[in-house]
Amino acid sequence: MNRFDASSTTDHVIEGISLAGKLAVVTGASSGLGVETCRVLAVAGATVIMVARNEEKLRAAEQELLRERPGAKLHTQCMDLADLTSVRNAAAEILLNHSRIQLLINNAGVMACPLLRTEQGFEMQFGTNHLGHFLFTGLLAPALIEGAPGRVVNLSSAGHKFARFDFDDHSYKHRKYEKWQAYGESKTANVLFSIGLDLRLRERGVRAFAVHPGAIMTNLSRHMQEEDFASLMEYRPTDKPLVFKSVPQGAATTVWAASTLELAHRGGIYLENCQIAQPAEEGGEDGVEDYAIDAAEAERLWSLSEALVGQSFEF
Ligand SMILES: NC(=O)c1ccc[n+]([C@@H]2O[C@H](COP(=O)([O-])OP(=O)(O)OC[C@H]3O[C@@H](n4cnc5c(N)ncnc54)[C@H](OP(=O)(O)O)[C@@H]3O)[C@@H](O)[C@H]2O)c1
């Protein structure tokens, strides 16, 4: 156990750490936890490529950070994770200018949207939260290996407890759509992906982590209707009320995962409250479920994801 906990903020966990000389790529950099993550990485001296789909929001977020920290080393890159062509283009543009990356923060996400499909026809939460990031990471991996030691941080959620991954119907072609179940499946995929990625990259000096940031009031709830709050309670393993964190507290576990020396020789693990999570207990709101860290499921998801994006990744 370190000295951090659920109340720790980004400023607490980055204290005394310099990221000078490191290049960080952060998705979902136009809102919520992503903007805060970019802010702190930049303040610690990293060069940060802020990635988001909406150019106007992205520029506004960049300007906001520059107002606070003139001289921060920021770049921007547009990418829509719900379109694999856009992901390929964005990765190619980044690689054109940067041959070495040390930190990749796969933070973007969508939650509990109605049944929507990505450009290539995948269910939106699976397509955005997992598949787009899978392809983006695979394409950037050569630069991560070149820039090693490095880390990949995948934003998961305690929402992974809502559902194990459904290999038979990842995109709700054959069953009734349940928005929370789909969110849970995508967040389980984020953990399984972290396990599979760490296994493939650890010998090359790149480690991967899954993070639950906590419950934070951000734009993530934009799709939620009144009745979705009630149905959320049915999926949660406990009826204890949610305790909310501030945005700097919410982004703290991501920043800790990306920067702490404590994790220099770790990887393929799920983190929460700036700690390595314990196995989940029946009815508990913390911890990681067995099915989300199952090595065989992680391999199965890797193969499925390669097939769906139409590209194999050998590192
Ligand atoms: N907030 C929480 O309580 C909580 C809890 C557990 C896990 N998380 C996870 O934390 C991460 C960050 O969430 P947040 O709370 O900061 O939410 P947020 O404020 O809604 O930010 C989400 C970011 O993802 C981007 N995004 C969504 N769809 C995208 C797409 N198709 N292509 C590219 N970017 C896309 C959004 O872009 P736009 O601005 O253009 O929409 C935004 O920048 C998510 O992965 C979420 O699942 C959050």
Nearest CA to ligand 1 atom 10: 155
Question: Which of 10, 26, 33, 254 to probe ligand 1 with, by most ligand atoms within 8 A of CB?
Answer: 33
Is pLDDT above 90 for 238?
Answer: no
Is pLDDT above 80 for 1?
Answer: no
Q: Is ligand 1 within 6 A of the CB of residue 30?
A: yes
- How far, in Å, from the CA of 90 to the mean position of ligand 1? 18
Amino acid 160: pLDDT: 98
Q: Is ligand 1 within 6 A of the CB of residue 28?
A: yes
Is pLDDT above 90 for 10?
Answer: yes
**pLDDT over 90, % of the chain:** 92
Q: Is ligand 1 within 6 A of the CB of residue 49?
A: no
Amino acid 30: pLDDT: 98
Question: Which of 110, 153, 183, 187 to probe ligand 1 with, by most ligand atoms within 8 A of CB?
Answer: 110
Average pLDDT for 182-190 = 98
Q: Is ligand 1 within 6 A of the CB of residue 128?
A: yes
Lowest mean pLDDT among 78-82, 142-146, 183-187, 220-224: 220-224
Q: Between these two residues, 314 and 66, which has the higher pLDDT value?
A: 66
pLDDT category at 2 given cuts 50, 70, 90 is confident
Domain range for 268 is 10-308
Question: Which of 27, 53, 160 to probe ligand 1 with, by most ligand atoms within 8 A of CB?
Answer: 53
Sheet strand arrangement including 47-52: 74-78, 47-52, 23-27, 103-106, 150-155, 206-212, 269-272, 275-276
* pTM score: 0.98
Residue appearing with tokens 């796969």: 106
Q: Is ligand 1 within 6 A of the CB of residue 220?
A: yes
Tally of domains in the chain: 1
Is pLDDT above 80 for 94?
Answer: yes
Nearest Cα neighbor of 163 from 180, 185, 179 is: 185
- How far, in Å, from the CA of 253 to the mean position of ligand 1? 15
Is pLDDT above 90 for 230?
Answer: no
Is pLDDT above 90 for 241?
Answer: no
Amino acid 234: pLDDT: 87
Q: Tell me if 313 is assigned to some domain.
A: no
Amino acid 242: pLDDT: 87
pLDDT category at 178 given cuts 50, 70, 90 is very high
Amino acid 240: pLDDT: 86
Amino acid 35: pLDDT: 98
pLDDT category at 19 given cuts 50, 70, 90 is very high
Is pLDDT above 80 for 143?
Answer: yes
User: What mean pLDDT is reported for the chain?
Assistant: 97
Amino acid 186: pLDDT: 98
Contact, 275 vs 286, CB < 8 A?
Answer: no
| CATH code at position 264 | 3.40.50.720
Average pLDDT for 60-71 = 97
Residue 296 in tokens: 């065989």
Amino acid 76: pLDDT: 98
Q: Tell me if 87 is assigned to some domain.
A: yes
- How far, in Å, from the CA of 248 to the mean position of ligand 1? 15
Q: Tell me if 63 is assigned to some domain.
A: yes
Q: 121-154 burial by CB neighbour count: b if 16+ within 10 A, else e? A: ebbbbbbbbbbbbbbbbbbbbbbbbbbbebbbbb
Lowest mean pLDDT among 35-44, 89-98, 99-108, 275-284: 275-284
Average pLDDT for 189-208 = 98
Q: Tell me if 3 is assigned to some domain.
A: no
Q: Tell me if 314 is assigned to some domain.
A: no
Q: Is ligand 1 within 6 A of the CB of residue 110?
A: yes
Q: Is ligand 1 within 6 A of the CB of residue 34?
A: yes
Contact, 137 vs 104, CB < 8 A?
Answer: yes
**pLDDT over 70, % of the chain:** 100
Q: Is ligand 1 within 6 A of the CB of residue 106?
A: no
Lowest mean pLDDT among 55-59, 102-106, 240-244: 240-244
Q: Tell me if 152 is assigned to some domain.
A: yes
Is pLDDT above 90 for 139?
Answer: yes
- How far, in Å, from the CA of 107 to the mean position of ligand 1? 7
- How far, in Å, from the CA of 220 to the mean position of ligand 1? 6
pLDDT category at 265 given cuts 50, 70, 90 is very high
Atom of ligand 1 nearest to the CA of 28: 43
Q: Tell me if 5 is assigned to some domain.
A: no
Amino acid at 193: F
Distance CA 105, CA 251 (A): 11
Q: Which residues are catalytic?
A: 177
Average pLDDT for 175-196 = 98
Q: Tell me if 223 is assigned to some domain.
A: yes
